[in-house]
């Protein structure tokens, strides 16, 4: 009996102490942010401490791997658990969450805090694509992965290589203006041991191009970029699937038959990180459509391969690519709406974005992207900014896709890799794979999708086609 | 002889004292916590899955969406799905090949280790390492080991003059690469259980066989394996069930590719249930697979259970 009484007293004491602690801690609000794991989040952790010092609002950052981020966030917002106050999304996910009512529209907040938000400073293409849904803004982009292309400028400008290329293909070796030219260049630079490259005899294989052909979302990003340039789209204007139409099939055929044969074997199981590894170790002459935010990693080739220079360029379609960004929004399940907004506004604001850019991040703020004094002195972190601006400006004028204006975009995005990988790996013919993809799309959209593109105008046919201007590049100082 | 005085115990008092609880009720009380856990984490999810499988459930259709009753539509969808059958067939192939190799290797290694006189404990502990490692972390490491351009395995192959392989990108090789990974990770499980079984075998029958001059092969065939068979059957069933649920190696290395050559049934269910968020279809498919596994396990364990009950009757 005495023992039981003593145990009871100890338990009671513990309960009282715990209650006091939690009472004290409950006065401080903690905002939980679910976001992508990586160096961008390491930066964010440092900045979050500054935010807490300024405002007293604690920030807890939950890091997630990209391949599993979608389902983790969906389970929370659908289950209404309130575990995440701020959620991060990829371009394709926004329409589903906004349409289903899982995230707050931010227009009233933006209007109220206009001076701090400075909405006009955010790249219009990024805001339109990753924040806007049916006339309302649901999220603010904080980090852009808009694609361009990396290439070995030293190879492209070598006089011997240029002469050999012209002899074989009949035109000057230069940054590709079309995807057919990209295919020619990929073929040209495919070399085996014993062949020469820039006058040096090779002891191992060298490849013309690096592609993200593994069964990840990246293969969809690559092929969609090519398809948009060729006039194709996943969803036609009438809401039906477009992946078995000629432009899309041509894009997949070019990718599989004319680019992939000149890529390293690891391409069939790799994502963007492996292609960047191939580039910065000198295994490939250029990338296909590649996220420009990877520039700080790609430029490492200049340290690894003496005499090399990493070049950056817009793709043949220019802005007809993913004017993409990870954006932040407020989950409807949150209990801390105002505090969540305060952090969201701050982390996407000018001060935090500048610090992000200083750390090598691809900001979404035009004032920073256009700040010559900023990027000129930081080529290895921000050398891609001028090209990024060039692509984003073209994107705002010349890119439109039905795909991001349907609520089922996320589902199609997650389904695509299985079918595109089947085509790329040869386990299915291109036609059979795209027929399978169409069947899956039809199951997802119920045969026909409703396109919510109010306020979006298709680019005028009279718009001049994109031609990349090399003068915007920030070249290596020789 | 001196008479010893012992305190008298009044047995009538004990016999009369009322029992607080019968033995049967006490037994039930002891297993109740485990039953509660089983109920909440086993039966409730099962019944919930059955409910989902009979409805139309799209988790991302919005909070206002209703889960309409659709009867057996989801089961019909599953049974008409080529992708479901292809993933199931692929999983069955994987399980047969991988588990067979694990059983042969694991049993052989167990016999070898059982013969050792020194360092038995250390070797046993080393074999625990693959089992003790976090599957996701190990999968990431194997992803890099297998890389066609930078991986260690291809570097080793090239160093001895062999052609490198596209371990995860070649559709003819990728599934076997996953099998190798699975064998590496789970052979120790077979080994350790078999070794424990070997070490717990009674010595007398073997001593008698030695006295009778039986050959090693005869001893193995007539004594060792029959005595070990309950352990081996159990290990085989457990490994087969695990192989059918393969997920981590796929998620960390190939994500089901290239194409769908490494898409096992669990990975396919993950795609349907947690990417497309069609929990109705995923639940129906999962219940079909559960049924198949129960039939298989029941068939395999039937003989074992019969043996055990005969043995108990004899004892």
Q: Is residue A9 part of a domain?
A: no
Residue A2's pLDDT band, with cuts at 50, 70 and 90, is low
Same domain, A116 and A37: yes
SS3 A89: strand
Distance, in angstroms, between B166 CA and closest chain A CA?
Answer: 6
- Residue A448 sits in the same domain as residue A308: yes
* B30 domain-assigned: no
Please give the average per-residue pLDDT across A62-72, as a whole number. 91
Task: Report the distance separating Cα A20 and Cα A26, nearest Å.
Answer: 10
pLDDT of res. A1: 57
| pLDDT given for residue B211 in this prediction | 86
- On chain B, the residues whose CB falls within 8 A of the CB of A252 are none
Distance, CA of A119 to CA of A88 (rounded, Å): 19
Place of tokens 């679910």: A34
> For residue A82, how many C-alpha atoms fall within 13 Å in the half-sphere facing its CB?
5
Whether A408 is covered by a domain: the verdict is: yes
Instruction: Return the CATH number at A215.
Output: 3.40.190.10
Alpha-helical (H) ranges within A170-203 are 179-188
Q: A217: domain range?
A: 147-320+404-472
pLDDT tens-digit map of A80-113:
888 999 999 999 999 999 999 999 999 999 999 9
pLDDT of residue B9: 64
Comparing alpha-carbon positions, the chain B residue that sits nearest to A275 is: B149
pLDDT at A462 over 90: no
Which chain B residue's Cα is nearest to A278?
B149
Cα–Cα nearest to A175, from A299, A314, A290: A314
CA distance B100 to B236: 9
Q: Do A268 and B258 count as a contact with CB atoms less than 8 A apart?
A: yes
Distance between CA B264 and CA B268 in Å, rounded?
A: 6
Is B220 contained in some domain? yes
CA distances from B236 to A13, A27, B104, B191 (A): 51, 56, 11, 12
Supply the pLDDT for residue A24. 47
* A97 contacts A89 by C-beta, under 8 angstroms: yes
Identity of the residue in B171, B271, B274 whose CB atom sits nearest the CB atom of A426 = B171
Q: Are residues A279 and A416 in the same domain?
A: yes
Distance of residue B4 Cα from the nearest chain A Cα, in angstroms: 38
Average pLDDT over chain B, rounded to an integer: 89
pLDDT at A45: 87
- Chain B residues interacting with chain A (CB cutoff of 8 angstroms): 59-63, 146-150, 164, 166-171, 174, 251, 253-261, 263, 271, 274-277
pLDDT at residue A143 tops 70: yes
Q: Is B219's pLDDT higher than 90?
A: no
Least confident stretch, A69-83, A352-366, B134-148, B299-313: B299-313
Average pLDDT for A462-473 = 88
CA distance B190 to chain A (A): 31
What confidence tens digit (pLDDT) does each residue in B166-206 have?
999 999 999 999 999 999 999 999 999 999 999 888 888 88
Assigned domain for A278 exists: yes
Tell me the residue ranges of DSSP E strands in A28-85: 30-36, 58-64
Between A27-41, A172-186, B285-299, the lowest mean confidence (pLDDT) is in A27-41
A327 plus A429 within the same structural domain: no
Count of the separate structural domains present in chain B: 1
pLDDT one-digit tens code per residue, A250-273: 999 999 999 999 999 999 999 999
ipTM value of the model?
A: 0.87
**Residue in B256, B259, B278, B280 to test binding to A, most A beta-carbons within 10 Å:** B259
Q: B113-152 pLDDT, tens per residue?
A: 988 888 888 888 888 889 888 888 999 999 999 999 999 9
Quick check: A26 pLDDT over 70? no
Give the residue among A458, A437, A446, A453 at the shortest CA–CA distance from A220.
A437
Q: Residue A478 falls within a domain, yes or no? A: no
Contact status of A214 with chain B (Cβ, < 8 Å): yes
Q: How confident is the model at residue A4 (pLDDT cuts 50, 70, 90)?
A: low
A-chain CB neighbours of B56 within 8 Å are none
* Residue B92, domain member (yes or no): yes
B126: containing domain: 77-314
In a domain? residue B119: yes
pLDDT at site A465: 82
**A211 and A88 share a domain?**
no
3-class DSSP string for B39-65: HHHHHHHHHHHHHHHCECCECCCCCCC
Does residue A244 share a domain with residue A123?
Answer: no
Pairs from B292-295 (Cβ < 8 Å, separation ≥ 24): B293/B241, B293/B244
Q: How far is A217 from chain B (nearest CA, A)?
A: 11
- Interface check for A30 against chain B (CB to CB < 8 A): the answer is no
**How many Å separate Cα B16 from the centre of its chain?**
51
Q: Is A203 found in the same domain as A302?
A: yes
- Statement: residue B273 has pLDDT above 80: yes
Chain B partners of A269 at a C-beta cutoff of 8 Å? Answer: 146-148, 166-169, 174, 253-254, 257-258
Are A438 and A314 contained in the same domain? yes
| CA quadruple A46, A52, A55, A60: dihedral sign | positive
Q: Check pLDDT > 70 for residue A73.
A: yes
A chain contacts of residue B258, beta-carbon cutoff 8 Å = 214-215, 268-269, 421-422, 424-425, 427
- Asked if the Cβ–Cβ distance from B148 to A264 is below 8 Å, we say yes
- Residue A160 sits in the same domain as residue A303: yes
Which chain B residue shows the shortest CA-CA distance from A444? B276
**Cβ distance of A411 and B258 shorter than 8 Å:** no
pLDDT at A151 over 80: yes
Q: CATH no. for residue B295?
A: 1.10.3720.10
Q: How confident is the model at residue B23 (pLDDT cuts 50, 70, 90)?
A: confident
For residue A439, the chain B residues in CB contact (below 8 A) are none
Q: How many domains does chain A have?
A: 2
pLDDT of residue B13: 56
Residue A379 lies in a domain: no
Residues in chain A within 8 Å Cβ distance of B259: 215, 418, 421-422, 425-428
CA-based nearest residue to A91, from A287, A419, A364: A364
Minimum CA–CA partner of B259 in chain A: A422
| C-alpha span between A112 and B23 (Å, rounded) | 72
**Cβ neighbours around A355 below 10 Å, total:** 16
Q: What is the pTM of this model?
A: 0.89
* pLDDT reading at B224 higher than 90: no
Task: Say if A167 falls within a structural domain.
Answer: yes
Q: What is the pLDDT of residue B274?
A: 93
Q: What is the nearest CA distance from A174 to chain B, expressed in angstroms?
A: 27
CA triple B271-B275-B280, angle to 5 deg: 75
Tokens of A252: 């997949």
Do B63 and A100 lie within an 8 Å CB cutoff? yes
Of A71, A102, A214, the CB nearest to B274: A71
Identify whether A314 is part of a domain.
yes
Cross-chain Cβ contact A70/B275 below 8 Å: yes
Partners of A424 on chain B (C-beta within 8 Å) are 258
Instruction: Give the mean pLDDT of A409-418.
Output: 95
Answer whether residue A387 is part of any domain: no
> Does residue A137 share a domain with residue A31?
yes
**B257 near B175, Cβ under 8 Å?**
no
The reply to whether B218 falls in a domain is yes
Cα torsion A243, A244, A250, A254 to 10°: value is 70
* More reliable by pLDDT, B110 or B60: B110
Quote the CA–CA distance of B233 and B247 in Å, as a whole number.
24
Alpha carbon dihedral B83, B89, B94, B95, in 10-degree steps, equals 120
The answer on pLDDT for A402 being more than 70 is: yes
Averaged pLDDT for residues B265-278: 94
pLDDT at A361 over 60: yes
């Amino acid at each position: 009996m005495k023992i039981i009484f003593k145990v009871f007293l100890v338990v009671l004491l513990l309960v009282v102490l715990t209650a006091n602690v939690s009472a004290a801690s409950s006065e401080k609000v903690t905002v939980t942010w679910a976001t992508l794991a990586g160096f961008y989040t390491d930066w964010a952790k440092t900045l979050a401490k500054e935010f807490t010092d300024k405002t007293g609002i604690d920030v807890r950052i939950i890091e997630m791997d990209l391949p599993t981020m979608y389902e983790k966030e969906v389970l929370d917002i659908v289950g209404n658990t309130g575990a995440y106050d701020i959620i991060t999304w990829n371009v394709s996910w926004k329409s589903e969450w906004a349409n289903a009512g899982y995230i707050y529209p931010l227009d009233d907040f933006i209007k109220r805090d206009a001076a701090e938000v400075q909405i006009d400073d955010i790249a219009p293409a990024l805001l339109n694509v990753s924040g806007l849904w049916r006339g309302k803004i649901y999220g603010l982009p904080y980090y852009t992965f808009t694609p361009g292309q990396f290439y070995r400028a030293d190879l492209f400008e070598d006089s011997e290589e240029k002469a050999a290329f012209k002899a074989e293909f009949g035109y000057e070796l230069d940054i590709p203006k079309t995807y057919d030219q990209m295919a020619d260049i990929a073929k040209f630079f495919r070399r085996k041991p014993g062949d020469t490259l820039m006058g040096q005899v090779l002891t191992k294989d060298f490849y013309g191009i690096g592609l993200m052909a593994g069964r990840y979302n990246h293969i969809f990003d690559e092929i969609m970029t090519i398809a948009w340039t060729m006039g194709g789209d996943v969803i036609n204007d009438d809401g039906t699937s477009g992946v078995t139409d000629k432009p899309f099939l041509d894009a997949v055929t070019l990718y599989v038959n004319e680019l992939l044969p000149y890529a390293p074997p690891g391409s069939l199981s790799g994502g963007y990180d492996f292609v960047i590894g191939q580039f910065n170790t000198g295994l490939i002459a250029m990338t296909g459509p590649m996220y420009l935010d990877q520039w700080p990693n790609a430029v490492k080739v200049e340290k690894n391969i003496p005499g090399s220079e990493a070049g950056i360029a817009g793709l043949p379609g220019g802005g007809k690519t993913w004017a993409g960004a990870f954006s932040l929004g407020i989950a409807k399940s949150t209990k801390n709406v105002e505090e969540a907004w305060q952090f969201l506004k701050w982390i996407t604001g000018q001060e935090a974005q500048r610090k992000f850019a200083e750390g090598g991040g691809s900001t979404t703020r035009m004032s920073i992207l256009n700040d010559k004094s900023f990027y000129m002195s930081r080529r290895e972190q921000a050398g891609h900014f001028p090209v990024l601006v060039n692509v984003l400006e073209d994107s705002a004028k010349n890119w439109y896709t039905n795909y991001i204006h349907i609520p089922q975009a996320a589902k199609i995005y997650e389904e695509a890799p299985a079918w595109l990988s089947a085509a790329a790996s040869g386990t299915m013919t291109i036609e059979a794979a795209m027929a399978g993809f169409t069947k899956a799309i039809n199951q997802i959209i119920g045969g026909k999708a409703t396109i919510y593109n109010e306020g979006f105008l298709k680019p005028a046919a009279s718009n001049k086609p994109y031609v990349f201007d090399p003068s915007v590049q920030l070249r290596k100082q020789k | 002889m001196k008479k010893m005085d012992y305190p008298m115990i009044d047995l009538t008092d004990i016999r009369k004292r009322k029992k607080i609880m019968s033995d049967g009720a006490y037994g039930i009380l002891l297993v109740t916590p485990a039953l509660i856990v089983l109920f909440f984490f086993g039966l409730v999810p099962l019944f919930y899955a059955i409910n989902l499988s009979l409805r139309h459930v799209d988790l991302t259709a919005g909070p206002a969406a209703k889960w309409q009753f659709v009867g057996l539509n989801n089961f019909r969808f599953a049974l008409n799905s080529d992708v479901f059958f292809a993933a199931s067939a692929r999983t069955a192939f994987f399980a047969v090949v991988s588990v067979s190799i694990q059983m042969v290797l694991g049993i052989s290694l167990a016999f070898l280790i059982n013969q050792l006189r020194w360092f038995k404990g250390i070797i046993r502990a080393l074999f625990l390492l693959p089992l003790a490692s976090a599957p996701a972390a190990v999968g990431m490491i194997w992803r890099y080991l297998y890389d066609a351009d930078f991986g260690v395995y291809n570097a080793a192959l090239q160093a001895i003059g062999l052609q490198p392989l596209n371990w995860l990108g070649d559709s003819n090789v990728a599934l076997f690469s996953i099998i190798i990974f699975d064998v590496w990770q789970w052979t120790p499980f077979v080994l350790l259980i078999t070794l424990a079984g070997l070490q717990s075998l009674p010595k007398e029958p073997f001593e008698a066989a030695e006295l009778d001059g039986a050959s090693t092969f005869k001893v193995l065939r007539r004594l060792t394996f029959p005595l070990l068979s309950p352990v081996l059957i159990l290990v085989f069933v457990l490994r087969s069930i695990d192989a059918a649920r393969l997920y981590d190696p796929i998620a960390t290395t190939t994500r089901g590719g290239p194409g769908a050559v490494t898409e096992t049934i669990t990975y396919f269910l993950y795609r349907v249930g947690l990417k497309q968020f069609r929990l109705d279809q995923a639940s129906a498919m999962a219940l079909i697979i559960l049924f198949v596994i129960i039939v298989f396990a029941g068939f395999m364990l039937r003989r074992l259970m019969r043996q055990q009950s005969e043995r108990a009757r004899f004892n």
